[in-house]
Amino acid sequence: MLLNVGQKAPDFSLQDQTGKEISLSHFLGKKVVLYFYPKDNTPGCTRQACGFAAAYDAFREQDIAVIGISKDSVSSHVKFAEKYNLPFILLSDPERKAIEPFGVWQEKKMCGKTAMGVVRTTYIIDENGVISHVMPKVKPDTNAQDVLEALGR
């Protein structure tokens, strides 16, 4: 089950695409856009990431961190970030240390089969580490702009 607006965002520590350990608590004092996506280099996830890359200056101007999380490995994130020139943090969560606490590991139906997987979800976390927006079932093509609109930008 997804978390709700007003809840404290669970802290976690995961490796980014450079192998550096990143904790959510490092971002206290600034807003964070935390988006969970299923898999690097798939059509929807690529469009979503490129949308955030295209809008990155608007986030940076407002001192808002953008973080993408999937189950992919650090090496997969390196290739994904390099291939599409992604300027933001990608975190590797193969053990689902953030994916499960944020409630995005859910049953999914694809091609008539049911399996567990990451449901595309975006959270906006305020300067105090509290969830201010929950955006379930986001559309890859408009996610970044929808986030900017939600933030009043």
Instruction: Give catalytic residues, as residue numbers.
Output: 45
Spatial contact of 72 and 80, defined as CB atoms under 8 Å apart: yes
Beta strand residue intervals within the chain, DSSP E? 13-16, 21-23, 32-36, 65-70, 89-92, 105-110, 113-118, 121-125, 131-136
Count the alpha carbons within 13 Å of 135 in the hemisphere toward its beta carbon: 24
Would you state the structure tokens that stand for residue 26, as one six-digit string?
Answer: 């490092």
